[in-house]
Structure 1
Amino acid sequence: MSWNEVLTFENSKDLLISIGIMLVFLLFRKLFAKYIFSLILKLGNKAKTAFFSNIFIAVEKPIQWLFIIIGTFIAMDYFPYLDRSNPLFKHLFRSSIIILVTWCLYNLTSSTSLVFSRINDRFNIRIDDILVPFFSKAIRLIIIAISISVIAQEFGYNVNGFVAGLGIGGLAFAFAAKEALANLFGGIVIITEKPFTLGDWILTPNVEGTVEDISFRSTKIRNFEDALVTVPNAMLSNSTITNWSKMGKRRVYFNLIVSHDTPKSNLDNSVRQIRYLLKNHQGIHPDTIIVSFDEYKENGLGLLFYFFTKTTVWVEHLEVKEDINFEIMDILENEQVTYAIPSNRVLFDVDE
């Protein structure tokens, strides 16, 4: 094809029309993003729930790309240097629409938690928070798998043969991905047995902190240094897990040593007053309260304190302990009971 044929008047006119169509659709895309979508989003924000707003946000980008795809498809009618009757253009157009639909559905899975919340409220069905991320990720994988299979069929590939081939190579795949499969089954064990859920404070042989996310492969735990630790599910499911968030009450245990020369009556009165204090304190759980003259020590008389606070929240627990400690100080001071100070006594044998 010579340059004279390329730059004919008809070709130039069709080329300009094609470019004009693209510019018009780009303008429509800009107007939609700036005005129409903003208006729709404001209307959605007036609803009682954020469900509709999440739907509008999920479809915003795909709809903007829809303008470009439709504009391109129409512009190809006038583009002089490509033949739109070629089946490849139809396959590409249909595949693009499938990808946009997949994109919308993929974005909508972020609203899964809201859907489950509404299910809980309406049908009184309790869905654990730990299951929501798994459901969301599983739905995304299904959406992507279906989209890939539909696109493959659009281009004439036999999906059934591909699936049959997976059965033949399944053993080799399982051997190559045995660690990934172990983590997957570990995640299933965590979901079914529910040793913890999102937001729980747990202790394992490797890490202690708050559970932030549970995925197919791993669990993310925020430790008390504010670092994010990723633990493979296979390792976590086979570990000893202490779930501190399941405490109904929180233990306080300590010893106090008073001086050897403390009179018996003063020590007995102190023990009785402290026991009475703990039994009548609003922050102390009444089930188990032990205050006892426990043992004789080298440097004094040992008192044992064993009780529980009603709250399990760390800061509130410390506040109750602090209040109890100050009260114990006042009781011992009033009874003239002094604390034992660690010391060594040296005896000299002086020959006369």
Structure 2
Amino acid sequence: MLWRDFLNYEFLGNTVTNYLWFAGILLFGFLFKTMLSKLLSGLMFRVVKRFSQEDNLPVFRRLLLQPLEMLLFLVFLYFAFKSLDYPLDPTQAIRKNEPFLKTFMLRTYQVFVIVAVTWAVLRFVDFIAHMLSHRAERTSSKLDDQLVPFFKDFTKVFIAILSFLVMLGTVFGVNVAGLIAGLGVGGLAIAFAAKESIENLLASFTIFLDQPFVVGDLVQVADITGTVEKIGFRSTRIRTLEKSFVTLPNKFMIDKALDNLSLRTFRRANFMINLTYNTTSAQMRAIVRELQEYIDQHPSTNQDGRIRFSALSPSSKDVMVLYFVDTMDWNEYINVKEEINYKIVEIVERNGAQFAFPSQTVYLERKPAPEPAEAEQPMAAGFPATDLQ
């Protein structure tokens, strides 16, 4: 009898039994939410497994585990609160007989449920994009490599906006249709406020349609040179030669002069060799001739190379070196250039010439010494000595 009386004891409008049910359901949900999430994610993966060529269950669980845990805990939280009775707000109870606290907590709960569902859907979109990215890597075209992240971001933004509208209509009772219709009045102001974002979005479609570059291309825009790693619906991300990560607006990418270095048939090397003025004409001719023959016979260059005695600089005799390396790979290009540079040094040294460096020669003019007779003649008060005798 005492135990039953204790269970039936009321506190704040609820018996001890109600509180025990509340605590038990919450404890069960907290302890088993991870296990149930793994089980649920495994069942969901069976649906999408037929579209996946690999065993992506670890990736699927890693993406969906936390959203499913939150969603399942909210389900247990709902049943836990169902076991309790809520006190009434006196004003609301007199006028409408509605539980104020229960209504407030229900609205808050609905917000969290919509957030959890949205989170799970966004993670599911990430998984679909992960599968499509692996398929795109197996194709020779680079267009699908940049379409996958673009449409992934676009879909996630659309889902977030849709979830926000559902929250307004379901939780707060807002007339969504009327709100959308009312946006036509303030649409012009919104368009001006989001002018740059809209321009970047339109620029992204221009990039996809015109394809001045694709993911993986080495490009130079303004003073930035690097490899395109991602093209989004607002910006393009470039990994520079210094390995820094630069994010540029899409509008900037199509407004500025862009040089797609990956589409070049050859890579050009153009520089000067500065030789000292002590180099004779015979040495100059021999150096130019041997360099020209080496460049023409090199297996990695074409026949457009030019070695010419081009200028007489203030401190050197200059030989122009111009050649084209038949490769698109940057590492191979610098390796060939290094090989040719060693050969240039070898040819110059073999012909007995020397490399010049900026220098100046200064000539000092010395005045002749005065005659001895004039130097020994005494002077007094500005008159010669003979005048004072």
Please state which band the TM-score falls in when normalised by the shorter chain. 0.7 to 0.9
Q: Equivalences for 1:26-37 in 2 at 5 Å?
A: 26-32=30-36
Corresponding residue SS for 1:80: coil
User: In structure 2, what is the Cα distance between the partners aligned to 1:32 and 1:339?
Assistant: 76
Residue 259 of structure 2 is aligned to residue 242 of structure 1: yes
Please, what is the CA RMSD of the aligned residues? Answer: 4.3
2:57 to 52, 63, 71: 52
Q: Which residue of 1 aligns with 2:81?
A: 76
Residue 121 of structure 2 is aligned to residue 105 of structure 1: yes
1:179-219 CA distances to partner (integer Å, 9 max, x unpaired)? 33233333333343333344544333364444454444334
Q: Equivalences for 1:316-335 in 2 at 5 Å?
A: 316-335=332-351
User: In structure 2, what is the Cα distance between the partners aligned to 1:339 and 1:154?
Assistant: 81
Residue 289 of structure 2 is aligned to residue 272 of structure 1: yes
Q: Which residue of 2 aligns with 1:14?
A: 18
User: In structure 2, what is the Cα distance between the partners aligned to 1:13 and 1:322?
Assistant: 84
1:269-314 CA distances to partner (integer Å, 9 max, x unpaired)? 33332222222323x3214211223345555543221002234544
User: In structure 2, what is the Cα distance between the partners aligned to 1:74 and 1:311?
Assistant: 67
Corresponding residue SS for 1:307: strand
State which drifts further: 14-23 or 339-348. Answer: 339-348
Residue 204 of structure 2 is aligned to residue 187 of structure 1: yes
Query: Residue 80 of structure 2 aligns to which amino acid in structure 1?
Result: A
Query: Residue 28 of structure 1 aligns to which amino acid in structure 2?
Result: F
State which drifts further: 64-73 or 48-57. Answer: 48-57
User: In structure 1, what is the Cα distance between the partners aligned to 2:141 and 2:319?
Assistant: 51
Q: Which residue of 1 aligns with 2:323?
A: 307
1:139 to 135, 140, 155: 155
Q: CA distance change for structure 1 residues 111 and 127 in 2, over 3 Å: closer, same or farther?
A: farther
Q: CA distance change for structure 1 residues 162 and 269 in 2, over 3 Å: closer, same or farther?
A: same
Corresponding residue SS for 1:130: helix
Q: Which residue of 2 aligns with 1:204?
A: 221
Across the two proteins, how many residue pairs are aligned to each other?
A: 345
Q: Which residue of 2 aligns with 1:344?
A: 361
User: In structure 2, what is the Cα distance between the partners aligned to 1:69 and 1:300?
Assistant: 81
Are the aligned partners of 1:291 and 1:303 in contact in 2 as well (CA < 8 Å)? yes
Shift of 1:346: 4.8
Query: Residue 204 of structure 1 aligns to which amino acid in structure 2?
Result: V
Q: CA distance change for structure 1 residues 123 and 226 in 2, over 3 Å: closer, same or farther?
A: closer
1:152-174 CA distances to partner (integer Å, 9 max, x unpaired)? 44344332212211222211211
State which drifts further: 94-103 or 130-139. Answer: 94-103
2:70 to 65, 69, 78: 65
Query: Residue 127 of structure 2 aligns to which amino acid in structure 1?
Result: S
Query: Residue 256 of structure 2 aligns to which amino acid in structure 1?
Result: S
Gapped regions of structure 1 (runs ≥ 5): none
1:217-238 CA distances to partner (integer Å, 9 max, x unpaired)? 3344455565544433334432
Shift of 1:349: 10
- TM-score scaled by length of structure 1: 0.77
Gapped regions of structure 2 (runs ≥ 5): 1-7, 89-97, 369-389
Shift of 1:265: 4.8
1:120-140 CA distances to partner (integer Å, 9 max, x unpaired)? 479987634333332111100
Shift of 1:74: 1.9
Corresponding residue SS for 1:49: coil
Query: Residue 64 of structure 1 aligns to which amino acid in structure 2?
Result: E
Corresponding residue SS for 1:169: helix
- TM-score scaled by length of structure 2: 0.71
Q: Which residue of 2 aligns with 1:23?
A: 27
Are the aligned partners of 2:275 and 2:355 in contact in 1 as well (CA < 8 Å)? yes
Q: Equivalences for 1:156-195 in 2 at 5 Å?
A: 156-195=173-212
Q: Which residue of 1 aligns with 2:249?
A: 232
